[in-house]
Structure 1
Amino acid sequence: MDWMAWTWPTAAFFATIATLLVIFTVLAIKFPETPRVGVLRIEATRGDRLFITLLGSAFINLAWLGLVGTAQPAALIVCLLYAAAVFRWV
C-alpha cells in the first residue's frame, strides 16, 4: 500500500466510516424501522440519514477549506451540529 498516503487521520476517517456502517447494519437487523418523513418531505431511514449526513459533512468541509482555510477541527463541530439536525429533523 505504498502507493497511497495512509496517515493516521486518513486511517481514522475510514475506520470511523466502516464502524458507522457496521453499527447501522446491526441496528437495522436488531431494530427494523419504517421510514419517516421529515422536513425534506422524503421517506428516510437511519441509513438514508447517515448518507445525507456524510454527504453534507463533505460539502461543509470543502466549503470550510475554501473559505476559511485551516482550522478543520472547527469544521468538525459544524459537521456534528449538522449531523444532529439531520438525525432529528430529516
Structure 2
Amino acid sequence: MAWTWPTAAFFLCIFALIAMMGVWEVASPGGSPRVGVLRFETTRGDRLFVSLLGSAFICLGSLFLFPDAQLWWALGVCLVYAGLVFRFV
C-alpha cells in the first residue's frame, strides 16, 4: 500500500474517532446500551464499529460501480449512514 496523504488522513481519522470515543466513555461511562432496529443490544462502540464497517462497504461499492468518480460523494453518503446508525441502531 502506498502511504500517501489521503491514506495517512484516513488512518488518522480512524485513530481520532477511537480516541474521541475513549474520551466520551471517560466523560460519560457506560453509554446506556440500547436495542435498536437490529433487535439486539448495542453500545456506542458497537455502533461506531458498524458505521465504520458499513462505510468501508459503501466506499468499496462506489469504487466498483463508478471507477472514474471521486470518493467525495461517497464520503457524504458514509457520514449520513453513520448518523443513521448512531441514531437508530
TM-score, structure 2 as length reference: 0.92
What is aligned with 1:80? 79
Letter of the 1:74 counterpart: W
TM-score, structure 1 as length reference: 0.91
Query: How many aligned residue pairs are there?
Result: 87
What is aligned with 1:57? 55
Superposition deviation, residue 29 in structure 1 = 1.6
> Hey, what's the Cα distance between the residues in 2 that align with 1:84 and 1:34?
18
Instruction: List, as ranges, runs of 4+ consecutive aligned residues in structure 1 with deviation greater than 3 Å.
Output: none
Structure 2 residue 28 is matched with structure 1 residue 35: no
> Hey, what's the Cα distance between the residues in 1 that align with 2:42 and 2:25?
13
CA offsets per residue over residues 5-48 of structure 1, 9 Å max, x none? 21000000001111111110111121022211100111111111
Letter of the 2:79 counterpart: L
> Hey, what's the Cα distance between the residues in 2 that align with 1:34 and 1:25?
15
Unaligned runs of 5+ in 2: none
Unaligned runs of 5+ in 1: none
For the residue of structure 1 that corresponds to 2:48, the secondary structure is helix
The aligned runs of 1:10-49 (5 Å cut-off) are: 10-32=7-29, 33-49=31-47
> Hey, what's the Cα distance between the residues in 1 that align with 2:86 and 2:44?
8
